[in-house]
Chains A and B, each alone.
Chain A
Amino acid sequence: MLKKLLLGAEAIGQGAIDGGISGVYAYPGTPSTEITEYIQENETAIERNLHQQWSANEKTAMEAALGMSYAGKRTLVCMKHVGLNVAADVFMNIAVTGINGGMVVAVADDPSMHSSQNEQDSRYYGKFAMVPVMEPTNQQEAYDMTIAALELSEKTGVPVMIRITTRLAHSRSGVVLAPMARMENPLSLPSDPMQFVLLPANARKRYNILLAQHPGFLKYSEEASWNRFEEGPDRSLGVICCGIAYNYFRENYPDISPYPSVKVSQYPLPVKLLKQLESQVDEILVLEEGYPLVEEQLKGFFERGKRVIGRLDGTLPRAGELNPDLVALALKIERSAGQTPPDLLVNRPPALCKGCGHHDTYRALNEVMEEYGKGKVFSDIGCYTLGALPPYNSIYSCVDMGASVTMAKGAADAGLFPSVAVVGDSTFTHSGITGLLDAVNEKSNMVLIIGDNESISMTGGQDSSAFGHIESICLGVGVDPNHIHVLESLPKNHELLVKLLREEIDYNGVSVIIPRRECIQKLARQKKN
């Protein structure tokens, strides 16, 4: 019996390898990054030569994974919750086309927004696309479910989602590995040549096939070993525990629970088990990490059934991740609150690293923007987002990948002057290029600063798709070569950057300035190795 100490995210990576994938596709995003990184470093994966390179964004990743599945091979595609928004177009449609080789979509949500802009709950996407969703409770289930999800995907012909949240993704525990890893699938085309052609007439046919599968998906959920009813003598309350919330419930009752409960780790919701619980108890408490998806479904609009409590009535907070203390409160268990930290303690927010090139960019930008006043610099998602905080206070937006470029364009359309955007290299190639094309086509009066640190740094220094391509992309999109400037972002180039910014702000059209210097963390890691 081989037992490995794995993060929840890594357990999914190991499960995918042992489940016989031929490749993983992903764009980095906390807390999902370690799934792909694990596969990139795994010996078996390297031996088998599995595809493991980073994609330009989540949409290209999922489409490439779909291509691999079309060719008959099993595949895994990974992203953070907001990454699924980027891939939502393909995700919604592959529920309708179905798959050929088994395909698992692993999505890591970030309730409490430790490293994210929102705390959207990906289970809604699973329900929206009408595909089975698995939600592991612990690292072992993350591993077992990934293997099972690949099998279920091939059995049902649809992609299967695995949804985890930050705590499971970034917590380590012992995982017992399967005695035998599955072989990869051979190359094989779909048996129906029209399966992937979503022309309306065919799309309607495919959609009806998907709808007809719901009873089958339900049956799989009701028979899944990780969905189960657990007895309890006190029937004043029944508890529904989804995914990791089960752990916080049992942390409060480590030996045996006084209340009957249902553990939910696979969707659609196992109706039979929930009905069994409902018939036995006076009131139902729903514990779920994320949005009140299950609670809302059970509560109903008119609340005519048994009372359902959880995040909607204040028994638990409406926002943020759960923990053992919050669940204890919901169960009316008194626990020690621990000491209150002293007043002396102050917050320590993250900051740009000492020696980071973004620092030099913001210093010059602040000097130039001083005469124009606040609120005229849009930005994006990456380390440089920290430029919104003191001591910089340089930027005024961080919305979604690439939005800096298009927001600056729209604000310029509205007459804002100057209109400046700050984006990183990999965020630019992720979703900034098409926005730049819009700006070029309309000769929008804006300055785009692409802070190029030659890596995807906030998530740990992964390879950037932009590496070596930024100038040629800008030229190809149609930016005037006289208004594309590259310089090294170093203190000695401060005056030069200030001068370039002033000149390009005065130029009526699209300008691109590329301050470039390798990420200091990446440099340090390279020196270490």
Chain B
Amino acid sequence: MKCDIVLAGVGGQGILSIATAIGLAAVSNNLYIKQAETHGMSQRGGAVQSYVRLSDKPIFSDLIPSGEAQLVLSVEPMEALRYLNYLSPDGFVITNTTPFINIPDYPDVDALLKLITSLPRVVAIDAENVAKTAGNVKSSNMVMLGAASPFIDIQVQSLEKAIMDIFAKKGDKIVAVNLSAFHAGRAFTEQKITVKNKKQ
């Protein structure tokens, strides 16, 4: 088993909660893990990324080589594009479609979304909307983790357990909301992939 994931977003969007959940699940499955993060200046609204590497064999590099990532998992649509050079030829882009516009020259949103949906292997999801339906708009990152989860070769129970551990301090209600957000994201991808397979 080997899975390299580039997590992308904007400083302050909290991509590290996704990385932490994957990390905890990987450790409980006795997998090797390396997870490189962005700290410092970029956290002030700049582009941030995290490289998550999972394997059943020891991992050397903390950085993912170009063209080897199975997933680019982005919580912001334009940021998904920034890391396409890491994506392997059969890799998937999983991205939120809600733009985070904090720069004056942000591209035209319609053109951006059109480009994203035209990528060969992509799951584009309105994570805020799905999170709202699941109970709380703030759990959109767990929607994104859920949407990526069918591509990550870790038992779904391990990811659920990780989410419970991360949010345990905040009480049962928050745990439940985040779990339901996770499952809503997962269901979205599963349905999309099934439909696609049927079409083929």
Report the bound CA distance from A338 to B4 in whole Å: 14
A contact residues around B64 at 8 Å (CB): 324
B85 touches A250 (CB 8 A): no
A171 touches B35 (CB 8 A): yes
**Cβ of B107 under 8 Å from chain A:** yes
B46 touches A170 (CB 8 A): no
B27 touches A168 (CB 8 A): no
Report the bound CA distance from A383 to B43 in whole Å: 11
- The residue of chain A having its C-beta at the shortest distance from the C-beta of B64 within the complex is A324
Nearest first, the 10 closest Cβ-Cβ pairs linking A and B are: A336-B67, A115-B40, A30-B40, A350-B46, A338-B85, A338-B67, A171-B62, A171-B36, A251-B61, A324-B65
**Cβ of A62 under 8 Å from chain B:** no
CB distance from B108 to the nearest CB of A (A): 8
**Cβ of B32 under 8 Å from chain A:** yes
**Contact A5/B44 with A247-B61, A336-B88, A337-B67 known, Cβ cut-off 8 Å:** no
Report the bound CA distance from A33 to B43 in whole Å: 14
**Contact A324/B43 with A341-B84, A348-B10 known, Cβ cut-off 8 Å:** no
Mark contacts of A148-185 with chain B using CB atoms, 8 A cut-off: 1 yes-contact digit, 0 otherwise.
00000000000000000001101111100000000000
B115 touches A342 (CB 8 A): yes
Report the bound CA distance from A324 to B81 in whole Å: 21
Report the bound CA distance from A7 to B23 in whole Å: 12
Report the bound CA distance from A174 to B88 in whole Å: 26
A350 touches B78 (CB 8 A): no
A contact residues around B115 at 8 Å (CB): 342, 344
B45 touches A351 (CB 8 A): yes
A348 touches B44 (CB 8 A): no
Contact of B65 among A171, A172, A325, A350 (CB under 8 A): A325
**Contact A351/B88 with A251-B65, A323-B63, A324-B65 known, Cβ cut-off 8 Å:** no
B45 touches A350 (CB 8 A): yes
**Contact A348/B46 with A30-B39, A459-B40 known, Cβ cut-off 8 Å:** yes
**Cβ of B86 under 8 Å from chain A:** yes
- Further contacts, 14 of them, CB under 8 A, given A338-B84, A460-B39: A5-B23, A5-B33, A115-B41, A170-B36, A173-B34, A246-B60, A247-B62, A323-B63, A324-B64, A341-B85, A344-B115, A347-B47, A352-B44, A391-B104
Contact of B35 among A3, A172, A324, A353 (CB under 8 A): A172
B contact residues around A33 at 8 Å (CB): 39
**Cβ of B5 under 8 Å from chain A:** no
Segment 395-448 of A: residues with Cβ below 8 Å from B: none
Contact of A31 among B12, B40, B107 (CB under 8 A): B40
Report the bound CA distance from A177 to B145 in whole Å: 30
B contact residues around A170 at 8 Å (CB): 36-39
A168 touches B45 (CB 8 A): no
A contact residues around B42 at 8 Å (CB): 114-115, 350
For B57, B81, B86, the residue with the greatest tally of chain A CB atoms inside 10 Å of its CB is B81
B85 touches A172 (CB 8 A): no
A contact residues around B89 at 8 Å (CB): 336
Mark contacts of B8-42 with chain A using CB atoms, 8 A cut-off: 1 yes-contact digit, 0 otherwise.
00111000000000011001000011111111111
**Cβ of A335 under 8 Å from chain B:** yes
A346 touches B103 (CB 8 A): yes
For B65, B102, B104, the residue with the greatest tally of chain A CB atoms inside 10 Å of its CB is B65
B32 touches A325 (CB 8 A): no
Interface residues on B, range: 35 or more
B27 touches A3 (CB 8 A): yes
**Cβ of A513 under 8 Å from chain B:** no
CB distance from B25 to the nearest CB of A (A): 11
CB distance from B2 to the nearest CB of A (A): 10
A contact residues around B195 at 8 Å (CB): none
Report the bound CA distance from A323 to B86 in whole Å: 12
Segment 315-349 of A: residues with Cβ below 8 Å from B: 323-325, 328, 335-342, 344-349
**Cβ of A193 under 8 Å from chain B:** no
B contact residues around A244 at 8 Å (CB): 62
**Contact A172/B81 with A346-B107, A351-B46 known, Cβ cut-off 8 Å:** no
CB distance from A135 to the nearest CB of B (A): 15
Listed by A's residue number, 15 A-B pairs whose Cβ atoms lie within 8 Å are A5-B33, A114-B42, A170-B37, A171-B36, A172-B36, A251-B60, A335-B65, A336-B68, A341-B82, A342-B115, A345-B82, A346-B78, A348-B46, A348-B78, A351-B103
**Cβ of B66 under 8 Å from chain A:** yes
- The residue of chain B having its C-beta at the shortest distance from the C-beta of A169 within the complex is B39
Segment 107-132 of B: residues with Cβ below 8 Å from A: 107, 111-112, 115
Report the bound CA distance from A315 to B175 in whole Å: 52
CB distance from A27 to the nearest CB of B (A): 15
A contact residues around B83 at 8 Å (CB): 341
A contact residues around B32 at 8 Å (CB): 173-174
- The residue of chain A having its C-beta at the shortest distance from the C-beta of B89 within the complex is A336
CB distance from A224 to the nearest CB of B (A): 20
B87 touches A339 (CB 8 A): yes
Report the bound CA distance from A524 to B60 in whole Å: 38
**Cβ of A254 under 8 Å from chain B:** yes
**Cβ of A248 under 8 Å from chain B:** yes
B contact residues around A293 at 8 Å (CB): none
B contact residues around A173 at 8 Å (CB): 32-35, 59, 62
B contact residues around A459 at 8 Å (CB): 40
CB distance from A6 to the nearest CB of B (A): 11
Report the bound CA distance from A229 to B14 in whole Å: 42
A336 touches B35 (CB 8 A): no
Report the bound CA distance from A170 to B27 in whole Å: 18
